[in-house]
Amino acid sequence: MTEHSRDLSRRRLLFGGAAVGAGVLLAGCTSNESDQPTTAQTKGADAAAGGNAAPGERVTIGFSAPAADHGWLAAITTNAKAQAAAYSDVEFKTVEAGADAAAQRAALSTLISQKPDVIVLLPADGKELNAAGLEAMKAGIPVVNLDRAFPDALAYRLQIKGDNYGMGVAAANYIVAQLKAKGVSAPIIGEIAGTDSLELTQERSKGFADTLAQNGLKVNNRRPAEFTADSGQQAATSLFQALPKIDAIWNHDDDQGIGVLAAVTQANRKEFFMVGGAGSKKAIEDIQADNTVLKATVTYSPSMASSAISLARLIAQGKGMSDLVELQVPKELILASETITKENASSYLKLGF
Amino acid sequence: MSDVTDTSTPERPAQLPAQSPPVDPAETAAAEQRAGGRLSWWRGEGGEGARRNLWLIGVLVALIVIGVITRPDLYGDSSWVWSNILVILKLASVVGVVTVGMTFVIIGGGIDLSVGAIVALAGVWATTVATQSYGAGGMIFCALAVGLCVGLVNGVLISYGRLVPFIATLAMLVAARGLAAELSDKQTQVSDNATINGIASTNLFGIPLLVYILAAVVLAGWVLLNRTTFGRRTVAVGGNPEAARLAGIDVKRHTVLLYALSGLCCGIAAIMLTAQATSAQAAMANLYELDAIAAAIIGGTLLSGGRGTIIGSLLGVIIFSTITNLFAINGLTTEAQNMVKGGIIVAAVLVQQVQFRSLTQFLGRNRLTTN
C-alpha cells in the first residue's frame, strides 16, 4: 500500500514537474518578435511642402474595421493608425468592430454618440451596414466608406475602394501577353479563387473570365480556396490533379498563395507561370527573386486605408485635394489595380504588406 | 501517437492494485462479467461494423467508377491514376488524423467541436518566431503539447466542471481561435523550417510521408480501441456511463483522457497541415470539426456514443476527399460538391439505420412468421 502510494506520489511529482516545465517552455514560445518589423504604408506630413500637409484645425477621426483574420485586414488597421499618427492635428479613435455586421453596428452607434468629426469605416458587409452609414450621415458626421460600398449614395461622403473587377482584368492581360510572347496555342489556364461566397471574389473572377474571353481564351478549371494558406494548398493540389499540364494560373490572393506555392513544390510542377493577387511583401520579394513560378501579382493594396485617413482629415477640415481644382474631396475614388513584375518590384516593395 | 499507448499501458497495472483489497473480488467479477458479456456482443457488433464498412467501400468504388466514366482521358493513364490515389490520401491525411481522435471522443459519448480551432492554435503556436528558433523538434513538441493541453482543459471542464461537451468545446472553439489570432497578430506565419516543410514533400518508397503518418495514427487508434483496456472502457463509458461507473471505471478520468487524446491528434494534424501550407494562421483548418464529425458519422460511429470503428471513420474521410477530387477533375463548382456531401451524409445515416434495426432481426422475424 505505502509503496504504491509512494510510487504514485513520485509519479505525480514527475508528471507535475513535467507539466509545469512544458508550460513554462510553451509560454516562452509565444513571442513573435521579428527581426524586421513590418512597416506601415504612410505618407508623412511633409510640412515643408506646405498646402494640405501643414497642420490645420484639430479633428477627431473615428475608425472601425472588422476583426482581422487576414493579413490584408490587419494591414488596413495598421496603416490607418500609422497615417493618423503622422498628423499632429488628428485625434484617432478606434472601436473594435467584432466579427460580424451586427457587432460592428453596435460598435458604430457607440462611435456616433462620441461625435467624431468624421468616421472612416470598413464595413463587414456594405449592404448590411448601409443603415449605420445613413445614421451617421444624418447625425452630421461624414462617413468615409473603405473598400466595401454602401448601396445607398446618401450613406457616405466618400467612397474609396480597390478595383476587384480590374484585378481580374489586369491578371488576364498579363497572362494573355505572356502566352502570346511564348507563342502558346490553346493554353490551359487555371484559377484559384478566394472565398466563393464573397462578392469581391465573384467580381475578380468575372473580370478575369471576361478579359480572357475577349482574347478567345477560357479558364479550364477553377478551384476556390478560403483566403488561407492551407485552403490554398488544398485547392492547388486538386487543380494540379485535374490538369496534368498547365500554362498559366491566376491565384486571387497572395496570403493563400503561400499555400499554393507550397503545393507547387510538393507536386513538383514547374511547367507554368503564376500571377498572384493583392501584393503581399512576400509575394513581391518572390517575384523580385524570380526563383518560383510566381512571376507577377496584381495589386489590391491596403494602402487605401492610409489614403482614407488623409482624405477624412481633409473632409473634416473642409479642404480639397490640392492637385485638383475642386475645393472639396471628390465623392468616389477607385484605385487602379497595378501589375507588379520583376521589372518594377523594387519600387512596390515598400507598399507590400 | 505512441505517447498515448505509453501512458495508458503503465497506468493499468498501477491502478488495479490501487483498489482496496476488499473490493477486489467484486471488481474482478465485474470485469469478468464485462469481458464475458462483451464477447458475444463484440462479435455481433464487429460483424455489423464489417458490413457497414463494406457498404462504404461500395460507395468509394461507385465514386471511382463515376470518375472513370467522366474523365476516361485521365483515368486511361496508369501513372496518373497512381498519383491520384496518393493525392486523395494526402488530402485525407490531416482530417483523417483529427477524425481518429474525434471517433474516440464520440464513442465515449462526447463531442469535440474545437478540433479545427486546436489545429489552428497548435499550428500558430508552433510557428511563432520564438518556437521556430528551437528547430523542427521544438516545433513538433510545441504543437503536440499545445494540442494535448487544450484537450486536457476541454476534458477537465467537461468531467469535473460538469459542462455539456457541446458547450465546453464550443467555448474552446471560439477561445482557441481568439488566442491563435492574438499570438499570430492576425498574420500568416510562414514556416522557414526545411525539416517541417519537408514532411509534406518527402516520399518514402514512392508514398508521401503524410500518408505514412495517417496510417500510423489509424493503426495506433485501431489497436488502442480494439486491443486495450482503454478502448474497451471507452466503449463502456459511451454506451452506458452509469453502468461503467458501477463496473469500477473512473468515468471522469477516462473522459478527460479521451479529450486529451483528441487534442493530441489535433497537435499531430497541426504539424501536418503547417508542413503542407508551409505556414500557419488563426483561420486555418476552417470547419475541420464538421468534416471530422461527418466522416465519423458516415463511418458508422453512433453520435450518442458506445459504438464506432476507426476503419469506418477512415473510410468516411477518404470518401469525402474522393468526392472533392472527383469534382475537381471534372471542373465542377464547390457548391454542387457541398450539396452532394450533404446528401451522402444523410444517405449514409439512413442506410445505417436500416442496418441497425438489423437485417438479421428482420429476416428472423420473417422466418418466424413463415414457419
- Domain match, A206 and A118 both: no
Q: Can you tell me the ipTM of this complex?
A: 0.79
Same-domain status, A149 and A176: no
> Is the CB of B16 inside 8 Å of chain A's CB atoms?
no
A154 and A191 share a domain? Answer: no
Q: Are B184 and B130 in contact (CB under 8 A)?
A: no
Residue B21 within any structural domain of the chain: no
Whether residue B78 is contained in a domain is answered as yes
Contact indicator for A262, B191 with CB cutoff of 8 Å: no
Q: Which residue range(s) make up the domain with B61?
A: 2-11+53-364
A285 and A168 together in one domain: yes
Task: Assess whether A158 and A168 both reside in one domain.
Answer: no
* Structural domain includes residue A333: no
Q: What is the pLDDT at residue B51?
A: 76
pTM value is: 0.81
Domain contains B161: yes
| Residue carrying C-alpha cell 486523395 | B88
What value does the CA radius of gyration of chain A take, rounded to a whole number of Å?
Answer: 24
**What digits encode the pLDDT tens for the residues A7-61?**
667 777 777 777 787 777 788 777 776 554 456 667 665 545 556 778 888 999 9
DSSP assignment, residue B109? T
- Residue B130 pLDDT: 87
Size of interface A-B (CB pairs under 8 A): 146
Q: Do A155 and A184 belong to one domain?
A: no
How many structural domains compose chain A? 2
Nearest to B108 by CA among B263, B259, B250: B259
Together in a domain, A226 and A121: no
Separation CA B126–CA B117 (nearest Å) = 14
The answer on A288 and A214 residing in a single domain is yes
> Does residue B16 sit within a domain?
no
Confidence of residue A4 (pLDDT cuts 50, 70, 90): low
Euclidean distance between CA atoms A139 and A106, whole angstroms: 16
Specify whether A290 is located in the same domain as A308: no
What is the number of domains present in chain B? 1
Distances (CA, A) of B86 to A267, B89, B203, B212: 11, 5, 11, 11
CB interface of A with B, residues 173-212, below 8 Å: 196
Q: How far apart are CA A125 and CA A72, in angstroms?
A: 16
> Which B residues in the span 100-139 are in contact with A, Cβ-Cβ below 8 Å?
125-126, 128-131, 134, 138
CATH at residue A179: 3.40.50.2300
Does A191 lie in the same domain as A290?
Answer: yes
Task: Give yes or no: residues A154 and A216 share one domain.
Answer: no
Q: Using one digit for the tens of pLDDT, what is the confidence trace for B30-77?
A: 444 444 444 444 445 556 677 778 888 998 999 999 999 998 888 888
Position B304 in a domain: yes
* pLDDT tens digits for range A328-345: 888 999 988 889 999 998
Contacts of A113 (CB under 8 A, 6+ apart): none
The answer for A 248-267 residues in CB contact with B (under 8 A) is 255, 258-259, 261-263, 265-266
CATH at B307: 1.10.3470
Same domain, A106 and A185: no
Task: Supply the range of the domain harboring residue A307.
Answer: 54-162+302-319
